[in-house]
Amino acid sequence: MADLSTRVHNLNLRNPVLTASGTFGYGEEFDDFIDVNSLGGIIVKATTSKHREGNPYPRMAETPMGMLNAVGLQNKGIDYFVETIYPRLLKYNNCIIANVSDSTVDGYVEVAEKMNSLDHISAIELNISCPNVKEGGMAFGTSCPSAIAVTRAVREVYDKTLIVKLSPNVTSIVEIAQAVETAGADAVSLINTLLGMAIDAEKRRPVLSTITGGLSGPAIKPVALRMVWQVARAVKIPVIGIGGITTATDAIEFMLAGASAIQVGTANFVDPQATVKIIAGIEEYLNRHKITNVNELIGGLIS
């Protein structure tokens, strides 16, 4: 029996499979389909300082091997999260990670500070890469000075594991990764969605209410894999791989490229059992290759 447990900074994960924020709700949406506790952890939907309605409908467009979304961080705000959602998360005994976003540095700090006092939240993932909001989000993640500023400010108030989620919509994701590392990030996760667009030719109109949106799904996997490989070689902190992971083979490829753990995102929409199938597939791969510990895969690319 291969050992699937892994470690990302101070997080002890029972396996390297996490769920990407915004694709897994608060876990409970999936209780009918899988044992959520069997996952390495879940990263819950982004929380902002204030209630947000998100963008108007339509927010979604199916694209070849993927989809565009323009949800725009719809959530009920940190105070609602603390009072109403957090108690419901206590039934899970795996690693619960909160995705944190906002439009201002002060907003990020407020959410992070409140998350810091929640014992059952073992880490936050700083979302400086959401492409669907006019202010904040990706704006923080596309330049080194702003990425450093927000990471540093949150680092001052957040004691536990701080993961920074990076945007692929930059000239050099390596430079951003190095910048947040120096600013105190304990890990980086990448990639968030790629900025894209869909047009309805019959109506001569954009499909999304916001015109542009974030592309996810298998279509982006090669881009994500390349970026994970580049970043993993350039930073000392752990890298969490995200981007179109649908099968165990996809997950293993990201780990070989240097990821210490992975997140399953859009695949959850098509198959709510994708995560547990990926865990079973990783174990099968390890057994077949006579590898006793999943950590041996990390950065194990032969080149």
Partner 1 sequence: MRTFFLLLPDRSLIMKKYILDFKVLSNQAINYNHNLLELSCDRPLPPMLPGQFAEVRVDGSPGTYLRRPFSIHRADFAMNTMHLLVKSVGDGTRTLAQLATGAIVNIMLPLGNGFPVTENNDVLLVGGGCGVAPLWFLARQLKQKGNRVSILIGGRSYRDILLADDYAQFGQVYVSTEDGSLGEKGMVTHHTLFKKGKLPFTTIYCCGPDGMMKAISHIAEKQDIPCMVSLENTMACGIGACLCCVVDTKSGNRCVCTDGPVFNSNELKGWSAETEVGCSINE
d(CA 186, CA 211): 35
Rounded CA-CA distance 277/256 in Å is: 19
Q: Show contacts with partner 1 in window 228-257 (CB under 8 A).
A: none
Interacting span for partner 1 (CB under 8 A) from 1-9, 22-30, 79-87, 92-100: 22-30
The site for partner 1, by CB under 8 A, has a size of: 43
Window 270-299: contact mask with partner 1 (x via CB under 8 A): xxxx--------------------------
| Shortest Cβ 156–partner 1 spacing (Å) | 27
Which one-letter DSSP state was computed for residue 76?
-
83-142: contacts with partner 1 (CB under 8 A): 103, 133-135
Residue 144 appears among annotated catalytic residues? no
Q: Which of 18, 67, 130, 251 is catalytic?
A: 130
Indicate the residue among 6 and 21 with the shorter CB distance to partner 1: 21
One DSSP character per residue, 266-299 reads: THHHH-TTHHHHHHHHHHHHHHHTT-SBGGGGTT
CB nearer to partner 1: give 203 or 288.
Answer: 203
Q: How far is the CB of 98 from partner 1 (least distance, A)?
A: 16
User: Looking at residue 152, what DSSP letter applies?
Assistant: H
Q: Are 277 and 271 in contact (CB under 8 A)?
A: yes
CB 34 within 8 A of CB 12: no
Q: How far is CA 28 from CA 24, 44, 164, in A?
A: 8, 10, 25
Q: How far is the CB of 148 from partner 1 (least distance, A)?
A: 25
The crossing angle, in degrees rounded to 10, of helices 248-256 and 221-234 is 30
- Residues that bind partner 1 in the complex, under the rule CB under 8 A: 22-25, 29-30, 32-33, 45, 51-67, 69, 71-72, 74, 103, 133-135, 217-218, 266, 268-273
- Give the residue numbers annotated as catalytic, written as ranges: 130
